Structure 1
Amino acid sequence: MRLLTISAGKVMPLFGNHHPNYKSVASAIHKKSISTLENLSQIEIGSLGVKGDEQADLSVHGGIEKAIYVYPTEHYAFWNELLTRETKRSVELQHGALGENFTIEGLLETEVFVGDKLLIGELEFAVVKLREPCFKFNAAVGYKGASKAMLQSGFSGWYLRVLKTGVLTAGAQIQIIPGSRTTSIAEQNQKLLNNRNQKDLWE
């Protein structure tokens, strides 16, 4: 298990016809890689996440409890295939394109539980909750059904709280320290999906 890429983004206008009330909204969902296996830059990680990373709406992203968004690289093949099919154009997403700060390999939603600790390099993090996608995600990837597909697939990724700050570099190894292991990220996703289906609250 290792960290492949560290990404950050700036708040800027996000355009699209993916919400009935908005043609343009502020978002920092478009992240760019700032440390990769090919470019091993050292990146400062503080209590609010990756230095230089921004969030447009702190009620749903960022802050202490959602400082870092993690996404498994294993899911990128799913998104490339889905978006290529649905948008009728060739899609080859780069790490950070799904809005994540850390792109990792070797660890999936079924294996991570709320309350687990992750040791990444010399730093320490706590698993907080899954990512709940919204219309901004649809606009970012150019497909109205993207949020629904994320929940239905269970490929949600998860948020981390930073317990020990410091410097991180892509390539760092990841170690899990299990918590109570009551609810996995995958189980949390399934509960949210069931609630959405019951209420028919798809955006």
Structure 2
Amino acid sequence: MYPVSNLDELRLGKVKSLYGSNTAIDKHTVDTCDLSALGLAGDEQAESFHGGEDRAVLQYDFEHYADLAEQFPESTAYFVKGGFGENFVATGMNEHNMCIGDIVKVGSVVLQVTQPRQPCFKLNSRFSEPTLSRYVQDNFKTGWFYRVLQTGTMNAGDTIEVTERLHPEWTVAKVQHYLYVDTENKTVMQQLVDLDVLAKETKGVFERRLQNNVVENWTGRLIGKRQ
């Protein structure tokens, strides 16, 4: 049986200056929202590469926050719904039971899982925890993105239902394993480059590794500095 959950909260946000940079991570709840190919009506991104058709909607498993509160006790009060800037707040769907290419129905909208989120230093700033982005990357607690296959309207309380699974062999967490752990497996990297439903951004990571025979430096993304 495929995962089914409830859309506990639907969130969107405007770009504002927070934590020393521009960000739209601080999102508020709405009861209903229209969805276009580029995302939720009224939802903004501080950087152009934070948006696009392959990153139209971000979902995050609410159950991750309990682990984060345990790992980072000084920030416990901030690990709440919407803390990671997610559009969908839901429980029971996670990186281990959602797969790249999954077709998902929410209200009148149809979505497709495209890629894991690659966490950045803005999470560290938001929670005043300098190692948070690295922790969620290492433990596959990042959330994932959807592209829009059918536009429409969604409401808080709608069912989130996986209706079709195209690639059961490629959970979000398995892709993360090859992004961050087994980073030099050329056979698997080629398989991921050839995976038609995988987002161009993530495909590009594997393409560059194959072409250059080197793993990219994550320092700038994770802590905001480059070596």
TM range (shorter): 0.7 to 0.9
CA contact 1:130–1:156 (8 Å) conserved in 2? yes
Q: How does 1:184-195 map to 2 (within 5 A)?
A: 184-194=171-181, 195=183
Aligned to 2:218: 201
The answer to whether structure 1 residue 183 and structure 2 residue 183 are counterparts is: no
- Note the 1:124-139 alignment, pairs <5 A: 124-139=110-125
Match of 1:28 among 24, 39, 49: 24
Who is 1:67 aligned against?
56
Tell me, yes or no, if the aligned pair for 1:32 and 1:97 is still in contact at 8 Å: no
Q: Distance in 1 between matches of 2:104 and 2:216?
A: 34
In 2, Cα distance between equivalents of 1:142 and 1:32: 21
Q: Percent of counterpart pairs with the same letter?
A: 30
- CA offset at residue 158 of structure 1? 0.3
Q: Which has the higher contact order (CA 8 A, sep 6+)?
A: 1
- The C-alpha deviation readout for 1:123-157, integer Å capped at 9, x for no partner, is 10010000000111111121110111111221111
- Unaligned runs of 5+ residues in structure 1 are 16-23, 35-40
RMSD value over aligned CA atoms?
Answer: 1.9
How far the C-alpha of 1:187 sits from its partner, in A, is 0.6
Using the alignment, how far apart are the partners of 2:109 and 2:76 within structure 1? 37
> Which residue matches 1:56?
46
- Residues 69, 75 of structure 2: 8 Å contact kept: no
More strand by share: 1
Deviation digits for residues 5-49 of structure 1, max 9, x if unmatched? Answer: 11111111132xxxxxxxx22111111222xxxxxx221122111
Contiguous gaps of at least 5 residues in structure 2: 185-214
Is 1:4 the counterpart of 2:8 in the alignment?
yes
Q: Partners of 1:185 and 1:53 in 2: how far apart?
A: 24
* AA partner of residue 121 (structure 2): F
Question: Secondary structure at 1:91's aligned position in 2?
Answer: helix
Offset of residue 50 of structure 1: 1.3
Query: In structure 2, do the counterparts of structure 1 residues 117 and 156 end up closer, same or farther at CA, with 3 Å as the change threshold?
Result: same
Residue 65 of structure 1 aligns to a residue whose secondary structure is helix
What residue identity is the alignment partner of 2:98? Answer: V
Aligned length: 184
| TM-score in terms of structure 2 length | 0.75
Cα distance in 2 for partners of 1:170, 1:52 equals 16
Establish whether residue 91 from structure 1 lines up as the match of residue 77 from structure 2: yes
In structure 2, relative to structure 1, the CA distance for the partners of 1:181 and 1:144 (3 Å cut) is same
Instruction: Check conservation: 2:75, 2:128, Cα contact below 8 A.
Output: no
1:68 & 1:199 partners in 2: Cα distance? 26
CA distance in 2, matches of 1:126, 1:115: 6
Q: Give me the TM-score of the superposition, normalised by structure 1.
A: 0.83
